[in-house]
Structure 1
Amino acid sequence: MQLPLGTDPRSDVLRRLQTDLIAAFGRIIRPPDKRRSPEWVLVHGVIGAQTKTAASNASTDGLLEKYGSWEAVAKVPVEQLEALLQRQTFPRVAAQRLSDCLNAIIAARGRVDLRQLSNLETADAIAWLETLPGVARKNAAGVMNASTFNRKAIVIDGHHRRIMQRMGVVPATADTAKTYDTLMPILPQEWSAEDMDEHHLLLKKLGQTHCRPRRPDCAQCPARADCRTAKG
């Protein structure tokens, strides 16, 4: 039986974690004018595997500036897209996924337009996005949360998943989708979409500084009080 949203004891762990990370790193809030269109966020995610955010930002903006529309980008041969995506860690893979994704949307919708998702429940919108080539849970949740949709959906990257596993909030073997499915029902019920976005950004910061993949700095970690791994 699933508990009502936010009543699981782990909800208090997440509340304390948010408070501790804000105390350690300060607020990390995405200004409204930095929220991009759902289509832009989708493209950014499709091409962004294992690539720094700034590089993916530049690549996404560069494509739109060069071609003027995502429909035009969809017509560009994969080889040309690859040449334009050299900032990405895997430019060939990024180019193929982007071409396949954009053309799948055009086949389904007639153009690259995700506005219809605003009429769907968030879970249904995420499920639709995950039918697209190259789109998994992280990107689908990002489209719903970090874009102008501003929906309640938590973005799970490798840092976030690793920290939740080490803290014992999610199973140690949980993949991104399982981590998402575990966290969504236990997120504090009072959290807004903006709080969820900040939580993701704070966890990313923690993973880059203290809770690194190798040799985590547990002694100095602001999450150590609630972390199963830090307590040994």
Structure 2
Amino acid sequence: MLLDLGPDHRTEILRRMHSKLIAQFGRVIRPDDKRRDPMWTLVQGVIGARAKTAVSNDNADRLLAEYGSWERVAEAPIEDLTARLQTATFPAMAAERLKACLQEIIAQRGKASLDHLESKDTADAMAWLETLPGIARKISAGIMNTSQFNRKALVLDSGHRRVVQRMGLVPAKADTTRAYDELMPLLPAIWSAEDLDEHHLLGKRLAQTICRPKRPDCPSCPVGADCETGAAL
């Protein structure tokens, strides 16, 4: 017989973390008019590896403006796409991945659209997305959560993942997929899709300013009381 061990203590840590990060950084709420079409969100994710969000946003906007449709982007020569993605961190790789991803969507769906995912539950939709070239867990979660789909999926970039690893909320060597699978059941059930989006943006802000990869400023960390790494110092 399985014993009911009650709620996981990490859920309460996540609640405290959220409140303390809001107190530190203020609310970080994505306005509805900033939620873009899922295809735009996919493109922005595929071309955005290790690039600043503003750069990836600009590149996605420019591609759509110059070509007029994602189908036309899929038809463009790699050399042309690479030239238009020079501000990306890895222009040639971004161009190759984007073209392959768009072509696969069109081959399966007949057009560059993710409308069919509207009828799928979030886990199934993410599983389908992750069969596409260049799409892993961070991007699939981003498409479901930050686009007009507005679903409950937690985005985890490398910085946010570093925070929750240092806090001991997920295993130290967990990749993004495992960290996501560990954290999703722990998130307070009352949290909305918007709450999950804000939680990621706050975690990202913490990673960029205090919980840096090297020389983290643990004495200044607002969540230090719940952090295994900080407690060990």
- The answer to whether TM tops 0.5 is yes
Corresponding position of 1:200 = 200
1:2 deviates by: 11
Aligned length: 231
Aligned-partner residue type, residue 174 of structure 1: A
Distance in 2, matches of 1:56 and 1:87, equals 8
5 Å-filtered alignment, 1:118-133, equals 118-133=118-133
Q: Identity over aligned residues, as a percent?
A: 61
1:7 deviates by: 2.9
Corresponding position of 1:166 = 166
Conservation of the 8 A alpha-carbon contact between 1:141 and 1:154: yes
Distance in 1, matches of 2:221 and 2:22, equals 13
1:223 deviates by: 1.2
CA spacing shift, 1:69–1:2, aligned 2, 3 Å: farther
5 Å-filtered alignment, 1:1-232, equals 7-232=7-232
CA spacing shift, 1:2–1:170, aligned 2, 3 Å: farther
With the length of structure 1 as denominator, give the TM-score of the two structures: 0.97
Distance in 2, matches of 1:50 and 1:141, equals 17
Aligned-partner residue type, residue 57 of structure 2: N
**Structure 1 residue ranges without an equivalent (≥5):** none
CA spacing shift, 1:202–1:3, aligned 2, 3 Å: farther
SS at match of 2:19: helix
SS at match of 2:150: coil
Structure number with greater CO (CA < 8 Å, separation at least 6) is 1
Distance in 2, matches of 1:158 and 1:2, equals 35
With the length of structure 2 as denominator, give the TM-score of the two structures: 0.97
Aligned-partner residue type, residue 107 of structure 1: A
1:148 deviates by: 0.2
Conservation of the 8 A alpha-carbon contact between 1:21 and 1:202: yes
Conservation of the 8 A alpha-carbon contact between 1:28 and 1:202: yes
1:3 deviates by: 11
Structure 1 outlier segments of 4+, above 6 Å: 1-4
- RMSD across aligned C-alpha pairs, in angstroms? 1.6
1:18 deviates by: 0.2
Conservation of the 8 A alpha-carbon contact between 1:157 and 1:176: yes
SS at match of 2:228: coil
Conservation of the 8 A alpha-carbon contact between 1:3 and 1:185: no
Distance in 1, matches of 2:206 and 2:118, equals 32
Distance in 2, matches of 1:45 and 1:2, equals 42
SS at match of 1:230: helix
CA spacing shift, 1:189–1:42, aligned 2, 3 Å: same
SS at match of 2:230: coil
SS at match of 1:229: helix
1:9 deviates by: 1.1
SS at match of 1:86: coil
Q: C-alpha deviations, 1:117-161, integer Å up to 9, x for none?
A: 010010000000000000000000000000000000000100111
